[in-house]
Amino acid sequence: MIPVRSYVRILRKYLRPLRGRVALLAVVALTGIALQLAGPQLIRAFLDGATSGTEVSKLIPLAVWFIGIAVLQQGAKVWATYLSVDVGWSATNDLRADLAEHVLHLDMGFHKEHTPGALIERIDGDVTALSNFFSSFTIMVLGNLILVAGILVLLWIENWLIGLGVTGFVVLIFSGMVKVQTIAVPRWKAVRARSAELMGFIGEQLGGTEDIKANGGDRFMIARFTGILRQWLPEQVRGRHGFSMLWAMGIMTFITGLSVVFFLGAILFNDGVMTLGGVYLVFHYVQMSHDPMEQIRSQMEDFQKAGAGIARVEDLLARESVIGDDGTTPLLAGPLEVDFDDVTFAYNDEEGDNDRPVLDDLNFTLPKGRVLGVLGRSGSGKSTLARLLTRLYDPQQGAIRLNGTALSEIPVEDLRHRVAMVTQDVQLFGASIRDNLTFFDDGVDDDRLHDVIDQLGLTDWLATLGDGLDSRLEASGSGLSAGQAQLLAFTRIFLRDPGVVILDEASSRLDPATEELIERAVDRLLRDRTGIIIAHRLATIERADDILILEDGVIVEAGERATLASDPDSRLSHLLATGLEEVLA
């Protein structure tokens, strides 16, 4: 059972900024309730007047008033619907933004555990389940309770026996709703978890469509998908069973109550205790009570969904990044010195235990302004070194320093502004070139963008696009060569003006037609900066001042490039003589 304070806490946080609209919604909803209660009173007066021989001229105003109230009631209903949708979307969009920001600041270990599809379901699917909870739950439930209470009061005034009977049925229905709520929320939470697993699987398969088709894995993926659906369906059935119980209970109780009231009304009318208008009034009010009871039942369904959604949202918000951000020491401008001091690191396995070290007791110092070429076979720890330097992970042992300051003492935002990494796989967004270069930062002006693009030699290419910086790129990178995508990544780095540049060189992605542009861009990128290049080409080795060769996470050779190259017994000399590909095999 979700604690009530959880509902109150999330309502207070996201509805407080919208309190003006919420107050207006409450006024409109209460006005509609008053109009609903007034309408039957006019019909009763009309019926009693008509059966007692009242003049038509006195009955016409009652009819006019009834029509006017009906029109106003519909207007209030439309307005309340508009306001509730507006409040719901505003609140849930704020919650989505908070969740997205929170997830973006979580450590890479979290992102390795959760697929993109599962995170989309957590951020959007779970929050969508809260939409009605934010938009109208409190006001509509409270409003409908007031309407039901008003109906009961009027029924007691009309006849205490009928009022007592209807009150008993209402209490019975509400007691059942509370009981069903304790059963249904855990079930719906399980439904949301299964839906996240399903969306995660779909996202993975769509992302790997090319590989799946190329390797004939279609039928195996469908079999796996079918298995997930077979697990998802029973949870859906169990979750919706709670809704069905509420619906069936409400219908049966209402029909029974209506029958009893009809029977009592007939007896009281026959005994002369009630007029025809009074019988109509009682019957109409009891029938009218069905709508608010049905709406409360519907709101309870949303309440069950909201309870599951709130639980999962709170679980996500409670997850804290293992990468602390308590640093207060800013980095100075200019190139930075890099120091790895007894650094040992291992990725956590699925059980949370540290596996075999990827980097073991790593020690080296890279003076500011120099370029380090890092070599090693696949899995030797080259990319891990770069991830540690940008604090995507923290080492289990040792320390990494920039200009003598430990990374943990530097604000993460400042660190990632001053240490930039260009990965092999350039991530593009379905947005304009401007937004792709600035990561949607409106503070970067076009003059600055054009200046950097000109330095990288992309001006002619940009001119071929009809809309210039406003030209839209596809997230898949279609329409761009590999070299152009790499140059766009370099442009992003130029705009930040970092002190350390990490280049995970992707020679296989380089377009031969833009080879010269790439070389010039790398030279420009490394000028007056400290550089670390995970090298794949001899040309890049020649650009490095120092060399570091890794093997199974251990430094097997390090030193100045010129010195190592001239030493016939060095590993670097052997690589230069036999070909760099050997170290990458």
* Residue from 263, 257, 265, 266 nearest 286 by CA: 257
Binned at pLDDT 50, 70 and 90, residue 504 comes out as confident
Q: 376 and 275 share a domain?
A: no
Q: 126 and 13 share a domain?
A: yes
Q: 264 and 348 share a domain?
A: no
Please report whether residue 455 resides in a domain: no
Query: Running DSSP on this structure, what letter comes out for residue 113?
Result: H
Query: Is residue 393 within 8 Å of 107, Cβ to Cβ?
Result: yes
Mean pLDDT on 279-291: 73
Q: 501 and 549 share a domain?
A: yes
In terms of pLDDT, which residue wins out, 267 or 488? 488
Please report whether residue 383 resides in a domain: yes
Query: Does the reported pTM lie above 0.75?
Result: no
- The β-bridge relationship of strands 554-560 and 546-551 is antiparallel
Q: 312 and 344 share a domain?
A: no
CA dist., res. 437 & res. 371, Å (int) = 25
> How much is the pLDDT for 399?
92
CATH number where 555 lies: 3.40.50.300
Q: How many residues does the chain have?
A: 585
DSSP of 476-544: T-TTS-HHHHHHHHHHHHHHH--SEEEEE--GGG--GGGHHHHHHHHHHHHTTSEEEEE--SHHHHHH-
Please report whether residue 328 resides in a domain: no
> How much is the pLDDT for 351?
42
Q: 312 and 342 share a domain?
A: no
> How much is the pLDDT for 500?
93
Domain count, the chain: 2
pLDDT digits 0-9 by tens, 352-410: 445 678 999 999 999 999 999 998 888 888 889 989 999 889 999 999 999 999 998 99
Query: Is residue 235 within 8 Å of 190, Cβ to Cβ?
Result: yes
> How much is the pLDDT for 491?
87
Q: 344 and 384 share a domain?
A: yes
Does residue 349 register a pLDDT over 60? no
* Residue from 334, 373, 333, 367 nearest 503 by CA: 373
Which token pair is 37? 């209660």
Q: What is the Cα gyration radius of the chain?
A: 35
CATH number where 301 lies: 1.20.1560.10
Q: 252 and 379 share a domain?
A: no
> How much is the pLDDT for 352?
45
Does residue 190 register a pLDDT over 60? yes
> How much is the pLDDT for 501?
92
What angle do the packed helices 290-318 and 56-104 form, to 10 degrees? Answer: 10
Please report whether residue 66 resides in a domain: yes
Query: Is residue 125 within 8 Å of 340, Cβ to Cβ?
Result: no
pLDDT digits 0-9 by tens, 24-43: 988 888 888 888 888 887 87
Which token pair is 383? 């990319």
Q: 13 and 156 share a domain?
A: yes
> How much is the pLDDT for 2?
60
What is the average pLDDT score of the chain?
Answer: 79
Residue-wise burial string across 22-44, b where 16 or more C-beta atoms lie within 10 A, e elsewhere: beebbebbbbbbebbbebbbbbb
Q: 227 and 367 share a domain?
A: no
Does residue 289 register a pLDDT over 60? yes
Please report whether residue 405 resides in a domain: yes
Residue 365 CA: distances (Å) to CA of 76, 101, 546, 567 = 72, 35, 10, 22
- Tell me which residue range forms the domain holding 126: 4-318
pLDDT digits 0-9 by tens, 403-429: 999 998 999 888 988 998 888 778 888
Q: Is 423 helix (H, G, I), strand (E, B) or coil?
A: coil
Q: 304 and 353 share a domain?
A: no
pLDDT digits 0-9 by tens, 198-235: 777 777 776 677 677 666 677 777 888 888 888 878 77
What angle do the packed helices 56-104 and 19-51 form, to 10 degrees? Answer: 160
